[in-house]
Amino acid sequence: METTVNSIESLFEKAEAYGKTTYELSKLKLLETTTIVVTSLVAKLSVILMISMFSFVLSIAISLWLGDLLGKAYYGFFIVAGFYLIAGIVLHFFLHSWVRKPISELIIKQALQ
């Protein structure tokens, strides 16, 4: 009888250890996945930031150049602002297929690796 009790206690101890180990392994896998996704996004966002800054400075340069060609500096800024307005409207209508879907797929792909 005593060996049966010892066997059952040993079984419960092993089950408890298995549960704790599984829990810790799940936490570590979640941490690894989160780290991969966050570092990937930070890298991509830094590239996007640099491209945005380049575009900003380029826009100012184009605005000044167009303004110089047209005789008034603010004409160039109006033209560039109109271009961005049209680009924004187009982007608004196609936002889901051009931006949201690829970003969602990227996050899911990184999370499943």
What average pLDDT does the structure give for the chain? 87
Q: Give the integer Cα–Cα distance in Å for 71 and 99.
A: 38
> Residue 34's domain spans which residues?
2-112
Q: What is the pTM of this model?
A: 0.59
Distances (CA, A) of 103 to 31, 41, 74, 86, 99: 21, 10, 36, 23, 6
The residue-averaged pLDDT of 33-48 equals: 87
Does the pLDDT value for residue 63 go beyond 70? yes
Per the structure, the count of domains in the chain is: 1
